[in-house]
Amino acid sequence: MSDDAAGRSFSKAEIAGQGERTFWGRLANWPLYRGFTAFLTASPRRQFVILAIFPLIWVLTQHLGPMLQMLRVSLTDAYPVAPGTEQHFTLQNYTRFFGDRIFWQPFFRTLIFAGVFTFCTLILTYPVAYFLARHVSRKNQVLMLLLLLIPFWVGEVVRTYAIMILLGNTGAVNMVLKWIGLIDRPIPFMYTSFSMGVGIVYLTALYMLLPLYSALEKLPKSYNEAAADLGAGAWTRFRRVTLPLTLEGISSGCTLVFLISTGFYATPVLLGGPSTTVFAETIAGFFHVAGDQWPTGAAFATIMFAAALVLTGIFQKLMNSLRKGDTK
């Protein structure tokens, strides 16, 4: 390109003349189109509305819509409505939960399980995330993350069956224990809170790992080096520097894992036993085994949803206050 050509400026008439030779050029010069685009991009607020409208429609129809429908069903006395009958508004489905203590047990069991499994997931994944973010070279981090992601390419049920193969009476764990002479008879791992816990921790590990990795990876190494220079030992450096500065990742990971754990259904069904019935199984019972009790199932699902949100809110508040305390 010559300086002459590079420095040459085109007049509007020239641009319009060239553009009109193509369809897009003609469209761009079409007064109606120009007026329309000018209207749409007239102000930043209008541009924001245009950008937001499709995500908003998506969230409203695909996320909030089903939840609102669930809420609506929970406030009716029949759904689906049988021929020749009418649907009425009622709070009976909610009072059934609060009035019958038999349902409290799986409800509180679910919340306790979710809390315990979230804590276990945090304890198990934090060292992995720490190793990955702080000790693996940046070049190999992507490869390592990819390796950790591989099990998540297959579905929840397939991975749950993998746990069954590991923990069954004739599974790999019992076979190894027997082979090394530690046991004579297989240990009944399956259909217990242990097998269910292993399954849930395994299935949710990634949701904890990624926020932790992200938080740890952003933490400058110089902070720890400075602490070391000032005489802080390894434990003190972790407690006073690393941990407080990764609270955001811990908070995000725990929130994700806790919320997911409260809603797990297939894993407790396949790995749990008679004494580990979780609330999702009770809810599912109203949607199929119990025949025609969708409104009760919907009300119970709404109660669990609200409880999980409230607990998560309290947890977030706690983490925020911890973070603020550390930055004072």
Partner 1 sequence: MTKLILNRRNFIGTAAMSGAALASPVYLRRAHAAGGEVNIWTYNEFVPTAFKEQFEAETGIKVNVRLVDDQGKQFNLLAAEAPNPSVDIMTVAGHRFLQFIDSDLLTPLDTDRLKNWGAINPTFSESDWATINGHKWGAPILSGMEVLSYNTELVTPEEAETWDTLFSDKYKGQTAYVIQDMMSIVMLKMGYDGNMVAYMDDPAKAAEIVEEVKQYLIEKKPLVRKYYDGGAEVQQMFVNQDIALAQSWNGPAAALINDGFPLAMSIPKEGSYGFVYTFNIANNAPNLDNAYTFLDAILASPEIGASMTKASGFISTYKGASEYLSDIEKKSTSFPEEQLANLQFFRAEANDMKYKLIDPAVEAIKAS
Q: Given the rule CB under 8 A, which residues bind partner 1?
A: 80, 82-83, 102-103, 105-106, 164, 168-171, 186, 188, 190-191, 269-270, 273-275, 277, 281-282, 285-294
Min separation Cβ 114 and partner 1, Å: 17
180: which 2 tokens?
A: 């090394």
Nearer to partner 1 by Cβ, of 169 and 320: the residue is: 169
Nearer to partner 1 by Cβ, of 69 and 320: the residue is: 69
Query: Which contiguous run of DSSP H or E holds residue 58?
Result: helix 44-58
Min separation Cβ 157 and partner 1, Å: 12
Min separation Cβ 105 and partner 1, Å: 5
Nearer to partner 1 by Cβ, of 29 and 277: the residue is: 277
Nearer to partner 1 by Cβ, of 191 and 258: the residue is: 191
Closest CA to 97 of 307, 305, 296, 308: 296
Helices (H), 135-149: 138-149
Min separation Cβ 279 and partner 1, Å: 9
Q: How far apart are CA 55 and CA 14, in angstroms?
A: 40
Beta bridge partners of 237: none
Min separation Cβ 257 and partner 1, Å: 24
Min separation Cβ 86 and partner 1, Å: 15
Min separation Cβ 195 and partner 1, Å: 10
- Residue 202 carries which side chain, given as an amino acid letter? Y
Torsion angle, CA of 7/11/12/15, rounded to 10 degrees?
Answer: -70
CA 315-205-169 angle, 5° bins = 120
Nearer to partner 1 by Cβ, of 124 and 164: the residue is: 164
Question: What are the two backbone dihedrals, phi and then psi, of residue 70, each rounded to the nearest 5 degrees?
Answer: -60, -45
Nearer to partner 1 by Cβ, of 44 and 291: the residue is: 291
Contact present, 93 and 74 (Cβ < 8 Å): yes
CA 156-157-160 angle, 5° bins = 90
Nearer to partner 1 by Cβ, of 26 and 288: the residue is: 288
In the numeric block, the tokens 């407790």 are attached to 268
Q: Is 8 helix (H, G, I), strand (E, B) or coil?
A: coil
